[in-house]
Structure 1
Amino acid sequence: MESTGVSMMANVARNRMGAMLVCGAGMIAIGAGEAWGQQAANEGSEPGFDWSFSAHTRYDFRSDLEGTNNGEYAVWRSGFDTSLRFPIADTARLKLGLGYEYNNYDFDQPNSFLATPAAEPFSDIHILNLSAVGEFQVDEEWSWYAGGGVRMAGESGADTGDMTTFSGRGGVGYRFSDSLEMTFGAVVSTQIEDDVLILPAITAMWNINERWDLRVTGPGAELSYAIDDETWIGLAGRWENRRFRLEDDVLGLGSVIEETAIPVYLHLRRAAGNGLSLDLSAGAIVGREFDIEDRDGRNGTTVDGDAGFFASVGFRYDF
């Protein structure tokens, strides 16, 4: 976006590499949050063909479950995101997206969830996201986008139809200057055994100066500093939400779990050349909470988790 110097390198690399979500988004892997995190904007560029692939793995270190007798849990989260963008008209492109995240929960004495402390309330959770978004450039300043997606989130063995939701999104983008672009839109999403959710979708990319950038992507934000033309360090945070269906197991017949958390972290990104970038992140997770509902989304109870730490590694390749 920028014309010269480090600011061009930082901004172009940031726009192309995106903001890797250390859990997922890429995958915030979220009914509404996923749509938030993956909304599209043309960003003032000429339509063209590009393909990107990113992968990540993250470990949430063991932390306490409040209200339990020494109850603890830890989580491994691994996944990938890929997108293909191609022209469909002189000033329009279509973006197709595919994302997957595997979450492995390891509980120890989770008697807030169960009457039997030795039992595991759930373990292997799979989240799959499919999306299609049209991006349209009106002029040098204005653009707009519209699209939708399908999401499946559930435990191994859960019924596919019971863990599928649908979303739609749309909005407009405006380029205020060479250093500031924003989009304003909304996301409408169905939820597993809950009401339709409507959320604002706002993004911003601000090249503050030759070294500093601020990026806002829906439920998250990152302030980054360009150490040199190939290395960036940032302070970031975002809201995460995962709502998923369980199989017919110890929690009941197809119970619904909603997990929310707020990671705050340091993010190091290194451009390795030829479209490849590497990401390292580490920080704390606060505001952790599990909402447990029956298969109809009723009779909910809440289990809070103590703050904990996490570390993540990932890469992205742009073709």
Structure 2
Amino acid sequence: MRLSLMKTIARLCCVSAMIFGFFASPSLAQPRLGWGYQIDGLAAYQGDADLSEGGEFSASRIFLRTTALYTFQDDTSLGVSASFGRLDYNFSQANNQPWEDIRDIRVAVPLRFGVGNATTVFISPQVRWDYQSGAEASDGRTYGVFAGVAWKLNERLTIGPAFGVFSQIEDNDIDFFPALLVDWDINDRWNLNTGSGVGATQGPGLTLSYALNDTMNLAVSARYERIRFRLDDDGLAPNGVGEDKSIPVVISFGYNPNPGVSLNVFAGAELDGRLTLDDANGAELSRQSYDTAPLVGAAFRVRF
């Protein structure tokens, strides 16, 4: 019950964060006129986790994103973002090895514009390709849009609703995500937000941070991760679909030597993990949970 409630809260926050984090980060909330650029990177490692159907697995991930954003005189912003990610899975048993190398490619066109003095609207159409190395990228394509509205209630609190609507691999259903946008300066040191999280499959979730000084901070974050991907024509489910779900909870240390550079290291755990394997027709072949797994990594962001 406790994990189910945690997943619900994280999911409500996570999709909004993919919009809000991009536009509400300190240097992009009031960007200079003309072009601005951003590069994000992530490397993470998930330690061994026991699988319910036998054996164990570990996983590593790298992710790189580039963004170009143009800001007009009225503070309207329009941009394009492209990213590439790779997830490497290592299973200990050959008879329980549903997939290995997964690719994650994304292209988004974010738009932000104001309505009145205190309201901001966000719209971000996106196309994604999630597929195993050896499969056709087009077979793992999905598309959709994130959108939301945020109201600046006062100098410390910005809040509003958002949603995501996306197609699914081998599924005629539409995945709809209700969400909440939050950026709340509780006091001069504490902040609660659905801020940006590079490489997140469903958004970076909710973060509570504490400013140690002008350049360093500590934070605790939780989010809901879910990625579905097309498999190649070998293995346990030729041309099938794999899925990995979990709730990462991490504590991070951030260092921001200047407004254009951000460095973070983090450590925590993957909770409530589950791997699902479907065949090429969409029928579920297996569903197995995995134990809580250690998680460590580092991320960076450069703006110019």
- Shorter-chain TM-score: what band? 0.7 to 0.9
TM-score by length of structure 2 reads: 0.86
CA-CA distance at 1:313 after TM superposition: 1.1
Q: Which runs of 5+ in 2 are unaligned?
A: 1-10, 196-202
| 1:63-105 Cα shifts (integer Å, max 9, x gaps) | 111131xx01000101112221112562311021112211010
Amino acid in structure 2 at the alignment position of 1:53: I
2:166 equivalent to 1:180: no
The 1:230/1:132 distance shift into structure 2, 3 A limit, reads same
**Partner residue, 1:199:** 177
Amino acid in structure 1 at the alignment position of 2:157: L
Picking from 74, 79, 85, the partner of 1:95 is 79
Quick one: distance in 1 between partners of 2:299 and 2:40? 7
Aligned residue pair count: 280
Alignment of 1:226-305 (within 5 A): 226-273=211-258, 275-305=260-290
Quick one: distance in 2 between partners of 1:173 and 1:164? 30
Alignment of 1:216-227 (within 5 A): 216-217=194-195, 220-227=205-212
2:19 equivalent to 1:39: yes
Quick one: distance in 1 between partners of 2:60 and 2:13? 20
Moved more, 145-154 or 32-41: 32-41
The 1:207/1:274 distance shift into structure 2, 3 A limit, reads closer
Secondary structure in 2 matching 1:178: coil
Quick one: distance in 2 between partners of 1:90 and 1:124? 45
Alignment of 1:117-132 (within 5 A): 120-132=97-109
**Partner residue, 1:27:** none
The 1:137/1:291 distance shift into structure 2, 3 A limit, reads same
CA-CA distance at 1:107 after TM superposition: 0.4
Moved more, 244-253 or 209-218: 209-218
Picking from 29, 54, 58, the partner of 1:74 is 58
Picking from 127, 132, 136, the partner of 1:159 is 136
Contact 2:14 2:205 in 1 (8 A): no
Quick one: distance in 2 between partners of 1:235 and 1:91? 32
Contact 2:14 2:224 in 1 (8 A): no
**Partner residue, 2:47:** 61
Contact 1:58 1:77 in 2 (8 A): yes
Quick one: distance in 2 between partners of 1:33 and 1:242? 17
Quick one: distance in 1 between partners of 2:32 and 2:117? 12
The 1:105/1:164 distance shift into structure 2, 3 A limit, reads same
Amino acid in structure 1 at the alignment position of 2:151: Y
Q: Which runs of 5+ in 1 are unaligned?
A: 1-29, 114-119
Contact 2:59 2:87 in 1 (8 A): yes
**Partner residue, 1:15:** none
The 1:317/1:91 distance shift into structure 2, 3 A limit, reads closer
2:114 equivalent to 1:145: no
Moved more, 151-160 or 33-42: 33-42
**Partner residue, 2:5:** none
Quick one: distance in 2 between partners of 1:166 and 1:132? 12
Quick one: distance in 2 between partners of 1:293 and 1:33? 28
CA-CA distance at 1:299 after TM superposition: 2.9
Quick one: distance in 2 between partners of 1:34 and 1:294? 28
Picking from 190, 199, 213, the partner of 1:212 is 190
| 1:250-301 Cα shifts (integer Å, max 9, x gaps) | 1232110110011111011001236122100001111100111111222342
The 1:55/1:93 distance shift into structure 2, 3 A limit, reads same
